[in-house]
Amino acid sequence: MNSISINFQKQIPVLGAYDVIVCGGGPAGLGAAIASARHGAETLVVENSNCLGGSWTNRLVTEYAIRAGMNGGIFKELRNEIEKLGGIHIDPYWHVPIFDPEIAKYVAQRMVEDSGAAMLFHTFIESAFCEGNTVKGIIVTGKGGMGLLRAKVVIDATGDGDVAASANVPFEKGRKKDGRMQGITLRSRIGGVNNLPDTNWKKINEILEQERKKGIVNIPSYVTKWLDAGAEGVHGERTFNLDMVTEIDATDRFQLTKAEMEGRKRLWELLLFARRHIPGWEKCYLIQTGSYIGVRETRRIIGEYVLTKADVLAGRKFADGISRSSHPIDTHDPENAEESAVDLEKYVRTHSCPKGDWYEIPYRCLVPKGVEGLLVAGRCISSDRESNGSLRIAGTCMNLGQAAGTAAAMAVKKKILPREVDGSKLRGILKEKHAVEI
Ligand SMILES: Cc1cc2nc3c(=O)[nH]c(=O)nc-3n(C[C@H](O)[C@H](O)[C@H](O)COP(=O)(O)OP(=O)(O)OC[C@H]3O[C@@H](n4cnc5c(N)ncnc54)[C@H](O)[C@@H]3O)c2cc1C
């Protein structure tokens, strides 16, 4: 890309000073903000959108992963609170819990408020504010222009590692062989659907394939491969998880724009196709799309330990293990789509740790290499691409956030660097005092 150099000096206001600033209010950011505030640190969570929940709410990823199933801690509290308001429904076919995104937004906000953490919405984090190799805050922008927020510890829970990358933390992105990242998905909630049990999905897929070949629908075959009923939402609506767009780097605004446009076009083509050809879908209508297209993969920062595929498959445990999971390696690559469409059970078996076992994620994956005052939580933590395909699951991300928030508050209290926090002590606190299942 062409670039020019502009020398400008600008007087910007200092908008506030906190012990801990959490960047991004998704599952990882929620866990981090609540844990940090509960540990007595003055905490602020900064979020670009207008609510909490991140992909869970704004991107309509309303499914809790089935096989992670071992989270406890803040994740369990949040889930229970959503359930109390009637916001969880078990899909009868996939047996996954689906939640109501509006109830989740409200519950998340209430839990952060109750923890004592402050919230700042409509605020885009431009970069880390560094002195030497130490992060001392963040530069933000939005209504009112640019500003500085100071912090003793900053937690990058942006999913994309925006803050860490701007602080020059090394990172990797995409497949080794071609840099390609996972398909991304504009999720939706579709109402007005009847007669599901009688649907012959094989036949529907064949009709779709014929229409695709004739150019009646312009949807690539990888989108249609998994077309089935989706999952059943809390109010009887259907939710879909088709990989709408591939070959996108979601850290690039131009590519993201293209993906949003493509995703919407494809969704409408599918909706109109469903009205034409699927019995019981004649009057289906679009209730809602995600406010943003759903992104599965971008930057993975390099930290003091890089979690690997081998760790996941072997069910490796660590003295400083602060989260655990058994979710399969799920990278939505074209090759995997073929393989898992043929035999999902076999795919899961060969891409997971042994049945009944789990792997752990060490605290060192949250500690970036070479930069102080910063922790990373959520899907951008230090991991190879395959292990990331497993740990990116929302419940695990929230546990990682809870660990980062607890560690940040410990560092502030003890006046030490986040990297000096004893990972095995942190593990003990999370396990014994916070009921995190490790
Ligand atoms: C289509 C799809 C389907 C999925 N299916 C499942 C599933 O079935 N089960 C499951 O458990 N997981 C699923 N996942 C994975 C899971 O939703 C995500 O990996 C998880 O939400 C990541 O959490 P996070 O907190 O790290 O990031 P995110 O959820 O992405 O949250 C990051 C937050 O940071 C904010 N932010 C980002 N950059 C900035 C910035 N510069 N300034 C200010 N704010 C910023 C964003 O607005 C967002 O709120 C799915 C993901 C996708 C996309």
362 confidence band (pLDDT: 50, 70, 90): very high
Please tell me the residue having the least CA distance from ligand 1 atom 13: 393
Q: Which pLDDT does position 436 carry in this prediction? A: 82
Q: Is the distance from the beta carbon of residue 125 to the nearest atom of ligand 1 less than 6 Å?
A: yes
Per-domain residue ranges of the chain = 14-175+297-339+357-433, 188-289
pLDDT at 225: 63
The predicted-structure confidence for 23-36, as pLDDT tens digits, reads as follows: 999 999 999 999 99
The full 3-state SS of 339-397, as one line of letters, equals HHHHCHHHHHHHCCCCCCCCEEEEHHHHCECCCECEEECCCCCCECHHHHHHHCCHHHH
The predicted-structure confidence for 123-181, as pLDDT tens digits, reads as follows 999 999 999 999 999 999 999 999 999 999 999 999 999 999 999 999 999 999 888 99
* Cα 399 to averaged position of ligand 1 atoms, centre (Å): 14
CATH topology of domain 14-175+297-339+357-433: FAD/NAD(P)-binding domain (3.50.50)
293 C-alpha to ligand 1 centroid (Å): 10
Q: Are strands 147-156 and 374-376 parallel, antiparallel or unpaired?
A: parallel
Whole-number pLDDT of residue 43? 99
The stretch 356-378 carries a mean pLDDT of 97
DSSP single-letter state for residue 131? E
Q: How large a percentage of the chain has pLDDT more than 70?
A: 95
Residue 391 predicted with pLDDT over 80: yes
In tens, the pLDDT along 254-303 reads 999 999 999 999 999 999 999 999 999 999 999 999 999 999 999 999 99
Ligand 1, atom 16: closest residue by C-alpha = 394
| pLDDT(86) > 90 | yes
Question: CA-CA-CA-CA torsion for 237, 242, 245, 249, nearest 10 degrees?
Answer: 90
Is 225 strand, coil or helix?
Answer: coil
| pLDDT, position 94 | 81
Q: Chain-wide mean pLDDT for the chain?
A: 92
Residue 137's pLDDT is 98
Highest mean pLDDT: which range of 205-219, 274-288, 403-417: 403-417
pLDDT in tens, 4-27: 999 888 999 999 999 999 999 999
Residue 35 C-alpha to ligand 1 middle, in angstroms?
19
State the closest ligand 1 atom to the C-alpha of 28, by its place in the atom list counted from 1.
Answer: 25
